[in-house]
Amino acid sequence: MPYFMEILGASDSLKLRLDMPFCQDNYAIFLREISTRYRDRRQNIGVISQSIHEFINSKKGNYFIFFPSYAYLKEIYEFYKEKFDDEILIQDRYMNEIESQKFLQKFDYSSEKTAFVVLGGIFSEGVDLIGERLIGAMIISVGMPGVSNERNLIKTHFDQISKNGFDYSYTYPGLNKVYQAAGRVIRGEEDKGIIYLLDDRFNNYKYKTLYPKHWKNKGLTIVNDSLTFKKQTNRFWEGLIEKE
């Protein structure tokens, strides 16, 4: 909150922080500790693709897979379609509003669709796929923006006023995109689903201190291998069935 108040010029404004209103038993947050840093992305295409395949086949339903860039989305997609038979929808780089709505309409209560989409793009905020229209979202990377002159100017400004310019320019905007994407899964009291994070940085102390309250209360379940992932997903979905 201090970041948003300062970046928007509202440091003297009143502020209010509300708890998440939905039952915390209705969702799980999984973490696989894979490096998605730019220098490691190409060498981890295989393990990321395998993680996606395991995720979308853990329970029949609709899934969003969020990528840090359109270029990486395409790179994973080309590898993925050669190795697996899963049908994948991909976000077009230049979708207009009508095309976006048609894309979302493919995700209904009886469908089993998976979409590769861009983190921070048109499908990571303002999208309400209620109930079984979306039961899981995987977020690949911590969402850090690409290096640019504009970002570096912001960094320099906050460094000069004794703030951590890197965080203001890169870390906080990236995490905001992550939270927006994760928020697609639980949109109402009856929604149930899994948020799956792929990046070892999510388990760093620095990032964990920045998590929203309901993430801190829930905790992240580490699933660094296929067997652990399968056990934990089965436990989550079977636990929901027992409660019903």
Q: Cβ(210)–Cβ(175) under 8 Å? A: yes
Nearest CA to 182 among 134, 240, 132? 134
Range list of H helices, the chain: 2-7, 45-56, 70-83, 97-105, 149-160, 165-166, 172-182, 205-208, 213-218, 226-243
Q: What is the pLDDT of residue 244?
A: 62
Q: What is the pLDDT of residue 100?
A: 93
Q: What is the pLDDT of residue 243?
A: 66
> pLDDT tens, 89-111?
999 988 999 999 999 999 999 99
- pTM score, two decimals? 0.94
Q: What is the pLDDT of residue 128?
A: 86
> pLDDT tens, 124-147?
887 889 889 999 999 999 999 989
Q: Cβ(234)–Cβ(194) under 8 Å? A: no
- Which residues are CB-contacts of 28 (< 8 A; sequence separation ≥ 6)? 194, 195, 218, 221, 232, 233, 236
Q: What is the pLDDT of residue 105?
A: 94
Nearest CA to 144 among 183, 185, 176, 180? 176
Low-confidence ranges of the chain (pLDDT < 50): none
Q: What is the pLDDT of residue 124?
A: 87
